[in-house]
Amino acid sequence: NSLEQAEDLKAFERRLTEYIHCLQPATGRWRMLLIVVSVCTATGAWNWLIDPETQKVSFFTSLWNHPFFTISCITLIGLFFAGIHKRVVAPSIIAARCRTVLAEYNMSCDDTGKLILKPRPHV
């Protein structure tokens, strides 16, 4: 019986580490996209702010005069509405949720999905 339990735990651990490992490439791509769009937005914002014409014209005219900033800002806002903030931390979310469930069984896991068996409390 305890041998079956050990095999079940090993199988669960393998599946959990495999799942978290499979999320890593997509998470890396989402992080790179977020970094690129953030840098573009910051660069565009800097150019928009140092332009002397920005203070002289209306807000919408100034945005029209700086399409790079406008497009990158809209893209960044769109990415956040699409949930990029969850996608860049997906493996951490999975690990945290597993820790919550595993705590009921006196276990935990690290960020890669490896199980951590805690000593049983003495009653």
pLDDT of residue 2: 85
Q: Are strands 115-117 and 107-109 parallel, antiparallel or unpaired?
A: antiparallel
Number of structural domains found in the chain: 1
Please check whether residue 17 lies inside any domain of the structure. Answer: yes
pLDDT digits (tens, 9 = 90+) for 71-92: 999 999 999 999 999 999 999 9
> Which domain, by its residues, includes 13?
1-117
Which three-class secondary structure state does DSSP give residue 39? helix
Please check whether residue 15 lies inside any domain of the structure. Answer: yes
Task: In whole angstroms, give the CA distance from residue 118 to residue 123.
Answer: 15
Please check whether residue 122 lies inside any domain of the structure. Answer: no
Share of the chain above pLDDT 90, in %: 85
Please check whether residue 123 lies inside any domain of the structure. Answer: no
Please check whether residue 42 lies inside any domain of the structure. Answer: yes
Please check whether residue 102 lies inside any domain of the structure. Answer: yes
This prediction has a pTM of 0.78
Q: Grade residue 119 by pLDDT with cuts at 50, 70 and 90.
A: confident
C-alpha separations of 6 from 1, 105, 115 in Å: 9, 14, 12
pLDDT digits (tens, 9 = 90+) for 2-53: 889 889 999 999 999 999 999 999 999 999 999 999 999 999 999 999 999 9
Please check whether residue 6 lies inside any domain of the structure. Answer: yes
pLDDT of residue 123: 63
